[in-house]
A and B are shown apart, each in its own frame.
Chain A
Amino acid sequence: MQENMSTPLENFINYKADTNMQCGNYSIDIPPLKEGEQYRFHFDAVACVGCRCCEVACNEQNNNPADIKWRRVGEMEGGEFPAFTQLLNSMSCNHCIDPECLIGCPTESYIKIAETGIVVHDDDTCIGCQYCTWNCPYGVPVFHEERNIVTKCHMCHERLDVGESPACVQACPAGAIEIEVVNVKEWLECDIDEQANMPFLPDARITNSTTRYTLPDDLPEQMKEMDEHILKPAHKELPLVFMTVLTQISLGGFLALFLGDFMSLFGFENTNWIMALLVMIPAAIGLPLSALHLGRPFLAMTAMKNIKTSWLSREALALGLFTGLMSVVVASYFFNISILLRLILEAVTLSIGIYGIYAQSMIYRIRARPSWNRITTNFKFFGVAYIGVFLLAFISSVSSIHEAIIPLTTLGMLGALAQLFFSYEDIRTLDAKENEYQLQRTKRLLNENFKKVKVIRFVTLIIGGVLLPLLALVFVSASSITAASVILFLAMLITFSSELFDRFLFYTTVVPLGMAGGFFVGKQRG
């Protein structure tokens, strides 16, 4: 051991290796930033030899386990042997000028550091909702199971702050990764379109990525990603499947309740507190369920923090209010307040509910996830409301408000038909040209992995949403109310499961934008 103590150990923080490159050095010389400038990565795909030093160095630096990689290396190739081009992309965070992770984060847990432009994540306030992992078109943020939160590359800003090199830059033997200074205005005005794009990466304009790429001059037109064969379903998000469908049912039910209450002004039978209670219950069950998908459920309430820019905050607040107000409505029935006051209360509640479901659907209108980012998502989310109408029709049938059964069942059936149409459109429009690669892969998942679920979804929607309600109408006409009740109950159950199946497919067949991955590890996300 003694000779170890006498080994010449230098202080390498201030020592620069003679490489004429940033690599190898534990310290870094970069010019101080002027007004309107920020730091960025430069990746030289011509110099990169695909040794993966950067990936390993990053994990060693940050103590991350093997499956949490902040820096990933993707492989692509094109051309024909021997005129063959292998293209590699080593990517961590692009420290975007308009980071989608930051905009969408409900808890304001992302900070774009004003002085350096580095996008960092505040671990303490993160609730692990993983909305940023959906929003980032590069798939940069990664949920860290052990820590219950999302984590990501922060350009080793604690090192940069004191003049030390980021781990990846230090480690690259080819000098392919560098830290540079970029003038934001100039970058956005001209260079970004020429220098920020890379095959298989989404358009840099989505988030105004800052990473500069050097690509080979003679890149073949047709490139393929080497993880093309890896097509795995996305996360099932079961708590969200239930939460979204249940809140949407409540909205439908509440709409029907409001219509009924309004009609009672014209002498029709009164709606009652049981109805109000029963339409509230789905949302009251669904909303807390959503907390289960969080890494840190105990911080669920803080999801409402970022009303300014996050649809998730807006949804959380609006649906929270909606459910709360619905319980006030129940109380108002119970304490028999004036019908006019109640109608106003109901109108306000309904508006907030509609906004809540709108906000909920807007959560998914994100460019990073093409199969979600379609108008059919909004339609289908509202479309589920028909089940709420069936719910009220069923309650009417068992609480002998028979005059409401036929209009409500008919309305519900029309809603189900609309939902059938939206669902059909949803699949048809997968053949769109924009984001064709991802949408076609979504289609493959639907047709290869989940063919049965897809068939069940449509069959149950037709049976539960159209055929059974028709049958119920027949029985009502024949005054067999009990039979109609049973049938309506069945219709409700079947359509409910149908929508659960559909929502399951919605989550699980999404194919996000992202980088080309590695042959074995794929994109290392999800």
Chain B
Amino acid sequence: MIGKIKDFLGFDIKEEKYKLSHDDTFGMISDEKKPDKWVFSTCGYCGVGCGLYIGVKDGKAVYTKGNPKHFVNKGTLCPKGLSEHQMINSPHRIPSPMIRKNGELQDVSWDEAFTKVSNEFKRIAREHGPQAVSVIGTGQFLTEEFYTLGKFVQLGLKTNNYDGNTTLCMASAVMGYKQSLGSDGPTSSYEDFEHADTIFLVGANIADNHPILTLHINKNPNKKVIVIDPRASKTSQMADLFVPIKPRTDLALYNGLAYIVMEQGWEDEGYIKANTNGYKELRKHLQDYPPQEVANITGIDVKTLYELAREFVSSKKVITGWTMGINQSFMGTDTVSAIINLHLLTGHIGREGTGPFSITGQCNAMGTRETGFTSSLPGYRNYGDEEALKEYAKIVNVPEEIIPRERGYKYAEIIDAIDRGEIKALWITATNPLVSFVNQDKLRKTLAKLDLLVVQDAFMGDTAQIADVIFAAATWGEKEGVYTNSERRCNKANKAVEPLGNSKGDFDIILEFSKYFEGVNEMLFPNWSEPRDAFNEWRKVSKGQLCDYSGMTYELIEELGGIQWPCNEEHPKGTKRLYSPDIPFRTADKKAKLLCLEWHPMAEPISPEFPVILNTGRTVEQWHTRTKTRAIDILDNLAPEAWVDISPKDAKKLKVKSGDRMSLSSPRGRVDDVVVRVTESVREGTVFVPFHFNEQLVNTLTSESFCPKSGEPNFKQTAIQLHSSEVPEGIHLKEEESSGAIAHHKVVYEGVTHKEKEILKSL
């Protein structure tokens, strides 16, 4: 009472809480949050891989500060990184393992959770074969956890129906690199943005998604930035030239540019001869992509096409950075290869300031690509390569027979197999398909068909809420290991605080869980007790591979501020870029492949019923499905809900203005109550909605169209209708607006291709 009166009269201005005081390391900082210690670590959000320190006070994370000595971020951090310590203390954390009993998730002991899940997995394997158990992983684990999980799933649970959410973001880059260069592996360094004469950013909105990369671009004094994107995103504002391409036509553009380069004789003949195969076939193939036709497809006029091609050959150093605009497409893999084609033709690869450079979405998508046992055996060893298989079996001392000969189902195929009843149990780790996957209404029904859904997560996300069993995981800052970023830089992440409540690090969960399967722990993880054990095995496994970690130790990684692989005796401090003269391509004949790639119009183009193209993506304030960021006040304050970017012309047709509410529908469902943001940043007939928000779940609308090579969904283009309260029936399409397919470009089936698979007999 007295306190209340005193407060009313204004005696207390909370000086103590808001005063600053001196910290030896970072200077004047908030006194209330002044840490007892700073712990060296790496950011756990996106693939940029920023170095930072976590401030710890009384066993709680209270500060995150950028590490100025780190190559990647030089002391800066994005809004998510700056507030990352708050994520650890989120109220949505799961402090204890849980089992659904009588319809309610209830806290249980680890033993009870492990016993239940192991018994179920064993029963299902007995009744339906081991491949009826399936795992969907993540890009958020530490490398040690990926390797441990992959090894356990493939060799312990003996199911190869294991894939990660990286298939929703980087799979096309993986497969593109593989089919063109013989192996996965991003070619360049962030540093190359500082040295390039011309920087192409294609389907990449780095201003929102990788803002720290702007640091490297801004350090380049003589750059020319060319942004190619269907949307005038924040990144388009960084451009010297912004090229507004029609949605999903990048492949045609790159084929067209290659055509012009060849037509004009601008190619680097010497480089092509020495380093590539398939030139003749490509030349023939590209006859289908003359400039005028490419102009029709892409909406980029012929003059600009020539200008872009000239830019590619007149500059000494050209780098192309791309992200989801390229990868998340039915033609994702081939579009990546089309970009690589152009770099090979012009010799812009393997030199400073050059390269076809995929920018990764998640903090350790690279880790799972290299070690994770999903798209390849560990160390980029291809499935089906008996030599590689034997080599791996020997290194880790396991019988050759238990190593899978082929890749199992990819993400979408797993979902499809659940729907068919072929897969009975699903173990999901650190990902939230009930926001991030396509066609949400169907997915929810599909997941309900499972006998057992296990979710291993640190946060009570949408998917965890429907789980039968939850493995309560520790999160970033509570565990130790390494992350590898977009530029192949392996960074150290350290444990700053103890895992919340009864939760455990993912490494510990997998290790202990493996003990519930007879003989598995002893065979796969002999004497393992800490992440370092996994890392040391990984160093041996990767030795001699392109992604060579053999020269790295935890200590050296910290000392050097991250190390770019390959790191071995030859390159003791790592390697800035791949495919320089001393690093040959990873194909059999050590030459890169120039590939003939076909552009396809959309299988579900706009129609009178669904006349608008929906584009989705991220915004800087939120992370993926918001399990980590929704409880961070300042991020939520800046971007509390989804919105729809709509052009003023469409807004006029729908009689809406900024701040109004609108609905969106597609053949698969409807999303209501999305706030309208009228902006000239989108073209008439297209809208943009961020995908983070489960309240306005935009993936209700997206379709089951997947890249047949990578399995990556075609998230970025969905034909939809818009409904305002004034014009509920939506936009009418004028006759001439509907596009007819060009004769020789065939529309093809884009859904899950259900291949009949020989299920490996349980061993």
Chain A, range 267-322, C-beta contacts under 8 Å to B: 294-299
Tell me, yes or no, whether B549 is within 8 Å of chain A by CB: no
Which residues in B have their C-beta under 8 angstroms from that of A138? none
Cα distance A245–B25 when bound, in Å?
Answer: 56
Contact of B640 among A228, A295, A520 (CB under 8 A): A520
Tell me, yes or no, whether B196 is within 8 Å of chain A by CB: no
Cα distance A247–B681 when bound, in Å?
Answer: 53
Cα distance A21–B66 when bound, in Å?
Answer: 15
Tell me, yes or no, whether A438 is within 8 Å of chain B by CB: no
User: How many A residues, CB 8 Å from partner?
Assistant: 85
**By the criterion CB–CB under 8 Å, are B20 and A173 in contact?**
no
A-B CB pair tally, cutoff 8 Å: 242
Interface of A, secondary structure class, is loop
Tell me, yes or no, whether A82 is within 8 Å of chain B by CB: yes
Cα distance A50–B27 when bound, in Å?
Answer: 27
Tell me, yes or no, whether A18 is within 8 Å of chain B by CB: yes
**By the criterion CB–CB under 8 Å, are A86 and B83 in contact?**
no
A410 to chain B, nearest CB (A): 46
Cα distance A170–B636 when bound, in Å?
Answer: 23
Contact of A148 among B12, B68, B207 (CB under 8 A): B12
Which residues in B have their C-beta under 8 angstroms from that of A8? 40, 558-559
A57-100 vs B, CB cutoff 8 Å, 1 = contact: the mask equals: 10111111111000000000111111011100000000000000
**By the criterion CB–CB under 8 Å, are B78 and A53 in contact?**
yes
Tell me, yes or no, whether B147 is within 8 Å of chain A by CB: no
**By the criterion CB–CB under 8 Å, are A49 and B75 in contact?**
no
A48 to B, closest residue via Cβ: B237
Cα distance A33–B74 when bound, in Å?
Answer: 28
**By the criterion CB–CB under 8 Å, are B68 and A81 in contact?**
no
Tell me, yes or no, whether A172 is within 8 Å of chain B by CB: yes
Tell me, yes or no, whether A139 is within 8 Å of chain B by CB: no
**By the criterion CB–CB under 8 Å, are B680 and A23 in contact?**
no
Q: Which of B634, B657, B681 has the most CB of A within 10 A?
A: B634
Tell me, yes or no, whether B63 is within 8 Å of chain A by CB: yes
Which residues in A have their C-beta under 8 angstroms from that of B69? 10, 12, 15, 17
Tell me, yes or no, whether B671 is within 8 Å of chain A by CB: no
**By the criterion CB–CB under 8 Å, are A84 and B214 in contact?**
no
Contact of B10 among A3, A11, A15, A294 (CB under 8 A): A294
Cα distance A61–B29 when bound, in Å?
Answer: 6
Query: A164-B27, A174-B215 known; A295 and B63 CB under 8 Å?
Result: no
Which residues in B have their C-beta under 8 angstroms from that of A226? 658, 677, 679
User: How many B residues, CB 8 Å from partner?
Assistant: 87
B679 to chain A, nearest CB (A): 6
Cα distance A5–B494 when bound, in Å?
Answer: 11
**By the criterion CB–CB under 8 Å, are B681 and A86 in contact?**
yes
Query: A13-B26, A63-B18, A518-B638 known; A147 and B13 CB under 8 Å?
Result: yes
Query: A8-B40, A23-B75, A82-B242 known; A55 and B638 CB under 8 Å?
Result: yes
**By the criterion CB–CB under 8 Å, are A49 and B211 in contact?**
yes
**By the criterion CB–CB under 8 Å, are A173 and B637 in contact?**
no
**By the criterion CB–CB under 8 Å, are B11 and A298 in contact?**
yes
**By the criterion CB–CB under 8 Å, are A18 and B74 in contact?**
yes
Cα distance A16–B683 when bound, in Å?
Answer: 43
Which residues in A have their C-beta under 8 angstroms from that of B63? 60
Contact of A3 among B15, B494, B634 (CB under 8 A): B494
Cα distance A124–B66 when bound, in Å?
Answer: 33
Cα distance A86–B634 when bound, in Å?
Answer: 23
Which residues in A have their C-beta under 8 angstroms from that of B337? none
Cα distance A5–B212 when bound, in Å?
Answer: 28
Tell me, yes or no, whether B222 is within 8 Å of chain A by CB: no
Cα distance A445–B37 when bound, in Å?
Answer: 52
**By the criterion CB–CB under 8 Å, are A1 and B219 in contact?**
no
**By the criterion CB–CB under 8 Å, are B68 and A66 in contact?**
no
Which residues in B have their C-beta under 8 angstroms from that of A50? 207-208, 234, 620
Which residues in B have their C-beta under 8 angstroms from that of A66? 633-634, 636-637
Tell me, yes or no, whether A156 is within 8 Å of chain B by CB: yes
Tell me, yes or no, whether B359 is within 8 Å of chain A by CB: no
**By the criterion CB–CB under 8 Å, are B634 and A25 in contact?**
no
Which residues in B have their C-beta under 8 angstroms from that of A149? 10, 13
Tell me, yes or no, whether A146 is within 8 Å of chain B by CB: yes
**By the criterion CB–CB under 8 Å, are A82 and B211 in contact?**
no
Tell me, yes or no, whether A137 is within 8 Å of chain B by CB: no
Tell me, yes or no, whether A56 is within 8 Å of chain B by CB: yes
A116 to chain B, nearest CB (A): 15
Which residues in B have their C-beta under 8 angstroms from that of A158? 20, 28
**By the criterion CB–CB under 8 Å, are A3 and B27 in contact?**
no
Which residues in B have their C-beta under 8 angstroms from that of A51? 78-79, 207-208, 211, 214, 620
Q: Which of A11, A56, A148, A175 has the most CB of B within 10 A?
A: A56
B6 to chain A, nearest CB (A): 9
Tell me, yes or no, whether B639 is within 8 Å of chain A by CB: yes
Q: Which of A16, A170, A294 has the most CB of B within 10 A?
A: A170
B177-193 vs A, CB cutoff 8 Å, 1 = contact: the mask equals: 00000000000000000
**By the criterion CB–CB under 8 Å, are A85 and B27 in contact?**
no
Cα distance A19–B680 when bound, in Å?
Answer: 34
Tell me, yes or no, whether A26 is within 8 Å of chain B by CB: yes
Which residues in B have their C-beta under 8 angstroms from that of A61? 29-30
Cα distance A59–B29 when bound, in Å?
Answer: 11
Cα distance A7–B554 when bound, in Å?
Answer: 10
Tell me, yes or no, whether B4 is within 8 Å of chain A by CB: no
Query: A67-B637, A164-B27, A297-B9 known; A7 and B235 CB under 8 Å?
Result: no
B31-69 vs A, CB cutoff 8 Å, 1 = contact: the mask equals: 011000111100000000000010000000001101111
Tell me, yes or no, whether B659 is within 8 Å of chain A by CB: yes
Which residues in B have their C-beta under 8 angstroms from that of A156? 28
Tell me, yes or no, whether A338 is within 8 Å of chain B by CB: no
Contact of A26 among B26, B40, B208, B643 (CB under 8 A): B26
Which residues in B have their C-beta under 8 angstroms from that of A230? 659
Cα distance A172–B74 when bound, in Å?
Answer: 11
B46 to chain A, nearest CB (A): 12
Chain B, range 242-276, C-beta contacts under 8 Å to A: 242, 244
Contact of A60 among B13, B75, B82, B677 (CB under 8 A): B82
**By the criterion CB–CB under 8 Å, are B218 and A21 in contact?**
yes
B476 to chain A, nearest CB (A): 15
Which residues in B have their C-beta under 8 angstroms from that of A478? none
Tell me, yes or no, whether A370 is within 8 Å of chain B by CB: no
Query: A12-B68, A61-B30 known; A520 and B638 CB under 8 Å?
Result: yes
**By the criterion CB–CB under 8 Å, are B218 and A175 in contact?**
yes
**By the criterion CB–CB under 8 Å, are B681 and A15 in contact?**
no
Cα distance A164–B73 when bound, in Å?
Answer: 19
Cα distance A383–B449 when bound, in Å?
Answer: 76
A133-170 vs B, CB cutoff 8 Å, 1 = contact: the mask equals: 00000000000001111010000101100101000001
**By the criterion CB–CB under 8 Å, are B657 and A80 in contact?**
no
Which residues in B have their C-beta under 8 angstroms from that of A298? 9-11
B670 to chain A, nearest CB (A): 23
B647 to A, closest residue via Cβ: A81
**By the criterion CB–CB under 8 Å, are A229 and B659 in contact?**
yes
**By the criterion CB–CB under 8 Å, are A81 and B232 in contact?**
yes
Cα distance A172–B684 when bound, in Å?
Answer: 33
Chain B, range 608-625, C-beta contacts under 8 Å to A: 620-621
A237 to chain B, nearest CB (A): 17
**By the criterion CB–CB under 8 Å, are A23 and B76 in contact?**
yes
A-B residue pairs in contact (CB < 8 Å), sample of 12: A1-B495, A11-B24, A26-B27, A63-B32, A77-B680, A82-B232, A85-B237, A86-B681, A158-B20, A171-B66, A520-B639, A521-B638
Instruction: Rank and list the top 3 A-B pairs by shortest CB-CB distance, nearest first.
Output: A296-B10, A229-B659, A24-B75
- 20 A-B pairs besides A12-B27, A159-B27, A296-B9 with CB distance below 8 A are A5-B37, A9-B53, A17-B69, A19-B215, A21-B219, A24-B76, A27-B27, A49-B207, A49-B234, A52-B621, A53-B76, A55-B638, A57-B77, A81-B680, A82-B232, A84-B681, A123-B15, A173-B214, A296-B10, A518-B638
Taking Cβ atoms with an 8 Å cutoff, the residues of A that contact B are 1, 3-5, 7-13, 15-21, 23-27, 47, 49-53, 55-57, 59-67, 77-82, 84-86, 123-124, 126-128, 146-149, 151, 156, 158-159, 162, 164, 170-175, 226, 228-230, 294-299, 518-521
